[in-house]
Chain A
Amino acid sequence: DSGVTQTPKHLITATGQRVTLRCSPRSGDLSVYWYQQSLDQGLQFLIQYYNGEERAKGNILERFSAQQFPDLHSELNLSSLELGDSALYFCASSQGTSGGAGYNEQFFGPGTRLTVL
């Protein structure tokens, strides 16, 4: 158990709908990362927050947005869902922000499996 929790575990919805995925980082971790993993594919970095502020952005679609709240939990919002958005969405957390010589281990949650029908 990494200490990172994600809810829900599974989510089934229809095209055009909007969903919210939730992540609680490990106690004391300030950074949260969101990743998308499509079937049999690698990890696509979406976005990173550090202590409530956006720190880095990857290949995140405009239909997707995220935020990190004062209690450090994070939510990933996916809207106008398409069939191609079906994937595993992982949240990870780390102690500090990445960068320079201070890269920190990222601890991954169990993921949310999103199915868009």
Chain B
Amino acid sequence: GENVEQHPSTLSVQEGDSAVIKCTYSDSASNYFPWYKQELGKGPQLIIDIRSNVGEKKDQRIAVTLNKTAKHFSLHITETQPEDSAVYFCAASKGYQLIWGAGTKLIIKP
């Protein structure tokens, strides 16, 4: 069935450095790829999304890239700050639902 693999499971970066989280999906029909951020004790919140007719999308320090041929997409966070510490989830569309990655715990070291 549809599968979304997310790497790494934990990422520790120095404050101010960049962070990259990668996801691969298996269903070539997937056409919507959101990224959610989950802070401790809260529900996930959408931070950026991309659709299959676009290769890259940016929103301030956050960007997402999509390679449909290789079936992978990545989240890029530049100039990381302490408030970026959280768990990040990628997802890929499948029919009416989203298939979620297992999550990446991002740790920002001061």
Contacts and interface: CB of A to CB of B under 8 A. Distances in A.
Interface of A: 2, 4, 41-45, 48, 55-56, 58, 90, 92, 97-99, 101, 103, 105-106, 108-111
Interface in B71-110: 89, 93, 95-103
A101 to B, nearest CB: 7
A98 B44 contact: no
B100 A110 contact: no
6 closest A-B pairs by CB = A108-B43, A56-B96, A103-B32, A42-B102, A56-B97, A43-B100
B28 interface: no
Interface of B: 31-32, 34, 36, 42-46, 49, 51, 89, 93, 95-103
A109 B96 CA distance: 20
Question: Is the contact region of chain B dominated by helix, strand, or loop, or is it mixed?
Answer: strand
B43 A41 contact: no
Contact of A108 (B32, B45, B103): B45
B43 A111 contact: yes
Contacts of A105: 34, 46, 49
Question: Is the contact region of chain A dominated by helix, strand, or loop, or is it mixed?
Answer: loop
A99 B42 CA distance: 26
A98 B34 contact: no
Nearest to B43: A108
A55 B96 contact: yes
Contacts of A41: 102-103
B96 A2 contact: no
Contacts of B51: 101, 103
B43 A99 contact: no
A109 B43 contact: yes
A106 B98 CA distance: 10
Nearest to A6: B43
A92 B97 CA distance: 12
Contact of A110 (B31, B43, B99, B101): B43
Nearest to B97: A56
Contacts of B89: 42-43
